[in-house]
């Protein structure tokens, strides 16, 4: 961004702010003509606003040209495909960690179930503890059934996410190959055009 100081440079000499020579004569003529003091600051504001507008429009035009060049060579498509791969990979890794957590929890429940069943085998059926162990076994069986269902759903989701990731990677490779081909063709065209212009 430009500032009014960039438009009219001010120098410091021994603690005194002075204008450069080229502006001093202009400033003296302004005084001779009895122009208002605010004229200089208004002029610098106008210059500042115009330069800011010019820069903004230039950035837009340059950005549009860069975007058109990227589209022409296929760079935008490759970047889009790479961002799709990253998103698919993040989704897959998140699902994979959920599957691992569900598997660990299921194994823990199954271990508790085996322990309860071992105790049930050692306790006689007429013992009071048998009913409490049977109730606990039933509760763990219900929990295991739910966890198995969740685990299988997560595994199916993991397979789907892996398929999406594989597809995104293939698409990215295809776009990369297409971009390389386009670049090669345009470089040949550029070389031929340059040679023709050189002659």
**Cα(158)–Cα(92) distance, integer angstroms:** 6
Q: What is the mean pLDDT of residues 74-90?
A: 82
- Do the domain assignments include residue 117? yes
Q: Looking at the structure, do residues 89 and 48 belong to the same domain, yes or no? A: no
pTM above 0.75, yes or no: no
Residue 187 lies in a domain: no
Q: Does residue 88 sit in the same domain as residue 165?
A: yes
- pLDDT value at 191 more than 80: no
Give residue 110's pLDDT.
93
Smallest CA-to-CA distance from 120 within 104, 140, 143 is with: 140
Please state, in angstroms and rounded to a whole number, the distance separating the CA atoms of residues 54 and 39. Answer: 22
Each residue of 52-80: pLDDT tens digit?
A: 776 676 656 655 655 665 555 566 777 78
Residue 192 belongs to some domain of the structure: no
**Residue 163 and residue 90 share a domain:** yes
Instruction: Evaluate if residue 153 carries a pLDDT over 90.
Output: yes
Q: Mean of the pLDDT values across residues 93-101? A: 94
If asked whether residues 22 and 90 sit together in one domain, one would say: no
pLDDT the model gives residue 50:
63
In a domain, 162, yes or no: yes
At residue 47, the pLDDT reads 62
Residues 6+ apart with CB under 8 A from 39: 30
Could you read off the pLDDT of 15-52 as tens digits, one per residue? 444 545 545 454 555 444 554 555 556 656 666 666 67
Res 102: pLDDT: 94
In a domain? residue 74: no
- Please state at what angle helix 75-122 crosses helix 38-73, rounded to 10 degrees: 70
Q: How confident is the model at residue 178 (pLDDT cuts 50, 70, 90)?
A: confident
Tell which of 64, 90, 111 closes a domain.
Answer: 64
Which residue range(s) make up the domain with 138? 81-176
Do 86 and 128 lie in one domain? The reply is: yes
3: three-class secondary structure by DSSP: coil
Kind plus residue range of the DSSP H or E element containing 8: none
pLDDT at position 48 is 63
Q: Is position 166 within any domain?
A: yes
Here the CATH number for the domain that contains residue 133 is: 1.10.287
In-domain check, residue 23: yes
Residue 8: band (very low, low, confident or very high) from pLDDT cuts 50, 70, 90: very low
pLDDT(164) > 70:
yes
Query: How many domains does the chain fold into?
Result: 2
pLDDT value of position 10: 46
Query: Is the distance from CB of 139 to CB of 187 less than 8 angstroms?
Result: no
The share of the chain scoring above pLDDT 70, in percent, equals 61
């Amino acid at each position: 961004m430009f500032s009014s100081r960039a438009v009219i440079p001010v120098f410091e000499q021994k603690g005194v702010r002075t204008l450069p020579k080229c502006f001093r004569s202009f400033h003296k003529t302004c005084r001779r003509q009895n122009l208002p003091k605010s004229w200089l600051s208004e002029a610098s504001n106008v210059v500042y606003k115009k330069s800011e507008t010019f820069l903004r429009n230039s950035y837009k035009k340059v950005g549009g040209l860069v975007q058109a060049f990227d589209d022409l060579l296929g760079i935008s498509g490759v970047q889009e495909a790479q961002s799709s791969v990253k998103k698919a990979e993040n989704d897959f890794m998140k699902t994979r960690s959920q599957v691992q957590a569900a598997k660990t929890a299921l194994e823990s429940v199954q271990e508790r179930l085996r322990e309860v069943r071992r105790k049930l085998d050692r306790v006689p059926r007429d013992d009071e503890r048998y009913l409490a162990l049977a109730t606990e076994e039933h509760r763990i069986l219900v929990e295991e059934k739910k966890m198995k269902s969740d685990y299988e759903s997560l595994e199916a989701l993991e397979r789907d996410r892996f398929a999406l990731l594989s597809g995104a990677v293939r698409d990215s490779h295809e776009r990369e190959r297409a971009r390389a081909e386009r670049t090669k063709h345009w470089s040949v065209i550029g070389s031929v055009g340059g040679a023709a212009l050189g002659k």
